[in-house]
Chains A and B, each alone.
Chain A
């Protein structure tokens, strides 16, 4: 077991000063090497859960047991440092943990070649396309070879084709580096394509409504019947979440 959450809860104070529960209680177990997609509509607390896992926010209640080791984090909009070129951005986490310059460069070179950006290592983020920026962000998240990679809708702002390419790349990279992944998304197809296991979250308060491993084989074919079936079944869950009246009619 790599990660175990029990009874994790979180609430905020709203503008009128009353408590507003955004998350929980959540119980969740993640195995080493698993690729998990946290799927849910906007505002269901999936990002909050990810931020709690990364330590950016604290939960009000509950316990989080996590295996030792580093983790990486990829933000929705890259959050690349605009004053650093691609190479410096990628070397940032290595330098932050005190690694030496030459060693940093070797590691950065390796991961940049993996994401196909080695020729662009001297470019600045604003000179890159959206897809290349997200690839840089992926490289930055993976360069430390983390045990756990957390991604917050990293491909949401990309066009469909670029998104699909990056999904493939991510899946390959994480397979090669045997990283445990928690991937937050509201895109059902993306989740069905990527995940070993999909966890669907509902809102008010954020909670787990469906937790299911996929037995689709690799490589996954988006046009196959099996794929479409799984996709439809999750779409149904989603519809019921957003509009509960559909569940009574089906």
Chain B
């Protein structure tokens, strides 16, 4: 009985949020006949066959996967570089003096602005060449689609939120915690591992979340520009060129959906750490 009740409560909590989407879809299906918009059914058709080839560009699955792997790779590099740099900037005043100006200058620079430059520098070099897998070169393989230039601008987009949030997190660690650890006999390494790191973890994680959001926005825009012929952003632009609004809308829906999954998923993972922040109060 109680299980049914809690299930019902959960469902009824979701219901108010569904009203606006339902209204939009209803209006859409009412007016789609007299406008350029394709009927919802056509879009749903495309979404329900995600592994069917579209416009000879590969399937929805393939293109979404390419975009996702690019983002994850860029993000991985951003986190790998940004976390230690941010930590250094947070922990050392002197180091911050050297790097503050350059990060402040580089941070507001849109990654998209760097795309032409990165195409010139990296050309269309992909992971196939980097890993020396030349036999894959003319096949449809994921490695061919992971252009170094693309990953570079994603890492660029992701690294600054990571650096800045990590720096703020480390700088925000209350001095009394560090002093307490020092007078209790802890070494510098011990303090780093057991005080500085756990105390700044919520902020570091917030930086990762921001980076994920930014990278997902950057990749869609980047794929709509020259330099690639795959990815969900590319499919979106290509379907626009061929006036296939049904495919366009399907792409837009998938982009939004993945954005949602990213932010909710990270929220879920972070809850364990974000709880720490609540504990401080």
Contact = CB atoms under 8 A, between A and B. Distances in A.
A140 interface: yes
**B181, B183, B190, B201, most chain A CB atoms within 10 A:** B183
A124 B1 CA distance: 35
B97 interface: no
B176 interface: yes
Interface in B148-181: 176-177, 179-181
A79 B180 CA distance: 7
A126 B278 CA distance: 9
**B177, B187, B279, B281, most chain A CB atoms within 10 A:** B279
Nearest to B276: A83
Contact of A82 (B179, B186, B279): B279
B183 A54 contact: yes
A124 B279 contact: yes
Contacts of A92: 181, 184, 186, 194
B179 A77 contact: no
Contacts of B180: 73, 75, 79, 81
Contact of A79 (B179, B198, B201, B278): B179
B183 A73 contact: yes
B280 A126 contact: yes
Interface string A65-107: 0000011110101010111000000001101110000000000
A5 to B, nearest CB: 18
Nearest to A125: B279
Nearest to A143: B184
Contacts of B182: 55-56
B176 A144 contact: no
Contacts of A93: 184-186
Contacts of A95: 190, 194
B225 interface: no
Interface in B23-57: none
Contacts of A72: 184
B61 to A, nearest CB: 41
Contacts of B195: 81
Contacts of A125: 279
Contact of A55 (B181, B183, B279): B183
Contacts of B181: 92, 96
Contacts of A77: 176
A20 B186 CA distance: 32
A108 B198 CA distance: 22
Contacts of A140: 184
Interface in B187-211: 187, 190, 194-195, 198-199, 201
Contacts of A81: 177, 180, 195, 198-199
B176 A82 contact: no
Given A77-B176, A92-B194, A96-B190, A83 B199 contact: yes
A81 B181 CA distance: 9
Contacts of A70: 185
B185 to A, nearest CB: 5
Nearest to B187: A96
A144 B180 CA distance: 14
A168 B3 CA distance: 52
Nearest to B281: A126
A56 B179 contact: yes
A14 B73 CA distance: 51
A150 B180 CA distance: 12
Contacts of A141: 184
A72 to B, nearest CB: 7
A141 B194 CA distance: 17
B185 A83 contact: no
Nearest to B273: A83
Contacts of B176: 75, 77, 79
Contacts of A73: 180, 183-184
7 closest pairs, A vs B, by CB? A96-B186, A73-B183, A93-B184, A79-B180, A79-B176, A82-B280, A82-B279
Given A77-B176, A83-B199, A96-B185, 6 more contacts: A55-B183, A79-B179, A81-B180, A92-B184, A93-B186, A126-B281
Interface of B: 176-177, 179-187, 190, 194-195, 198-199, 201, 276, 278-281
9 contacts: A75-B180, A81-B177, A82-B276, A82-B280, A92-B184, A92-B186, A93-B186, A96-B186, A126-B279
